């Protein structure tokens, strides 16, 4: 009789846990759908607000450190934003004219460079490939020429898209007016907002929500702050190194390669292919300069892997490169430039939630089934009998 009651109580508890879990799933699915619908409907006006929130999130640790040094929150906020805006304006004043000039010149000379590179390839007669592998030399030349044409056409489209997006971004007056205001108030009230949101969480689930929020924050902070700083440093290293080698468009290629280095190996690989291709056109047959251009990226990879990555990012990000690329494409296609800004935090949040859901599933009766519980009860009862004997 007691055994039957115990089993009934266990089944009831399992059903209550399953029902609570289903309620949580429904709530969070509805919340996620509502958030996605909100972003989709208002994506055209959200850019300065999202940019202000990202800026405040990026600078919040600096404000906390200044507070620990004795400054008030409002003074720390004013000081940080003024310094950030000064650095940003100076950077734009210096870099934008250089990048605009190099990009215009690059697009104008691209057909000439493509013709010269094709000439270098077609001047080489790979008879040994035809003899060893049975590949026709003319077909190989045509295939390489087609590949080069397609590749350079794709890169031209990418550069033009990035530049037009950047020009559209900087031509929006509201971005310069609204973003600093949003960032100021968000940075000023950041801790208060976090505490208010924490007070809204149901008390039964507050520990779980706090743990998930902490994991999401660690992943997002490690990427946004650590990887963002790493990309800027790599961009400066590549730009300076390529400029010192005398490569044309070194600043443009170096900064571009550094800024897309948040996807591991993609930035350095794209920059290496672009710069070495231009080095062949510009320096051929001087192999030493071509090797020097390639060494810039190898040196950058060494500095990134052994110095910058361990210090700035560490192992706290936990975002797989494939998942990150999918998130960038998906959110960019759905929400435009705003989607690109929220893709990384959203990818980190989804990854943490998926790991949490899998861990709960592995502990649930849906995974374990009832056989484990039924096998445990007789064992416990036999143990009790042996103890009584």
- 285 cis-preceded (ω within 30 degrees of 0): yes
The confidence score (pLDDT) of residue 387 equals 40
pLDDT tens, residue by residue, 160-215 = 555 554 444 444 556 677 788 888 888 888 888 888 888 887 777 788 888 888 88
User: Which structure tokens are listed for 243?
Assistant: 């400029």
The confidence score (pLDDT) of residue 61 equals 86
Residues 57-64, mean pLDDT to the nearest whole number: 85
Report the alpha-carbon distance of residue 365 to residue 226 in Å, rounded: 40
The confidence score (pLDDT) of residue 269 equals 81
Long-range CB contacts (within 8 A, 24+) of 232-240 = 232/258, 232/259, 233/258, 233/308, 234/258, 234/261, 234/267, 234/268, 234/300, 234/303, 234/304, 234/308, 235/259, 235/261, 237/296, 237/299, 237/300, 237/303, 238/271, 238/296, 238/297, 238/300
Residues 379-388, mean pLDDT to the nearest whole number: 42
- Nearest alpha-carbon partner for 231 in 303, 280, 295, 175: 303
Single pTM value for the model:
0.60
Report the alpha-carbon distance of residue 246 to residue 150 in Å, rounded: 27
Report the alpha-carbon distance of residue 54 to residue 221 in Å, rounded: 11
Domain boundaries, the chain: 43-200, 220-315, 319-367
- 242-246, 260-264, 326-330: lowest mean pLDDT where? 260-264
């Amino acid at each position: 009789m007691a055994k039957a009651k115990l089993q009934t109580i266990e089944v009831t508890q399992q059903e209550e846990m399953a029902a609570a879990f289903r309620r949580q799933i429904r709530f969070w699915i509805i919340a996620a759908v509502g958030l996605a619908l909100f972003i989709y409907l208002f994506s055209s006006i959200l850019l300065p607000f999202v940019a202000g929130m990202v800026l405040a999130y990026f600078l919040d640790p600096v404000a906390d450190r200044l507070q620990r040094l004795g400054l008030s929150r409002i003074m720390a906020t004013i000081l940080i934003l003024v310094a950030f805006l000064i650095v940003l304006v100076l950077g734009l004043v210096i870099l934008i004219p250089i990048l605009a000039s190099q990009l215009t010149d690059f697009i104008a000379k691209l057909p000439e460079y493509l013709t010269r590179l094709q000439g270098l390839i077609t001047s080489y007669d790979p008879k040994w490939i035809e003899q060893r592998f049975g590949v026709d030399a003319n077909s190989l030349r045509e295939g390489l020429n087609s590949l080069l044409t397609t590749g350079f056409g794709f890169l031209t489209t990418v550069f033009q898209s990035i530049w037009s997006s950047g020009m559209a971004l900087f031509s929006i007056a509201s971005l310069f007016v609204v973003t600093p205001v949003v960032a100021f108030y968000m940075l000023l009230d950041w801790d208060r907002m976090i505490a208010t949101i924490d007070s809204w969480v149901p008390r039964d689930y507050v520990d779980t929500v706090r743990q998930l929020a902490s994991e999401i924050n660690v992943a997002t902070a490690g990427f946004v702050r650590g990887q963002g700083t790493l990309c800027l440093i790599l961009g400066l290293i590549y730009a300076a190194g390529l400029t010192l080698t005398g490569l044309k468009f070194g600043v443009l290629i170096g900064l571009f390669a550094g800024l897309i280095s948040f996807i591991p190996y993609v930035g350095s690989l794209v920059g290496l292919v672009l710069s070495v291709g231009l080095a062949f056109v510009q320096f051929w047959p001087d192999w030493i300069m071509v090797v020097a251009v390639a060494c810039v990226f190898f040196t950058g990879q060494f500095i990134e892997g052994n110095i910058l990555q361990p210090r700035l990012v560490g192992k706290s990000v936990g975002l797989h490169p494939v998942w990150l690329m999918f998130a960038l494409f998906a959110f960019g296609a759905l929400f435009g430039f705003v989607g690109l800004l929220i893709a990384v935090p959203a990818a980190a949040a989804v990854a943490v939630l998926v790991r949490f859901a899998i861990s709960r599933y592995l502990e649930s009766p849906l995974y374990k089934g009832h056989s484990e519980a039924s096998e445990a009860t007789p064992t416990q009862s036999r143990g009790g009998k042996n103890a009584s004997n």
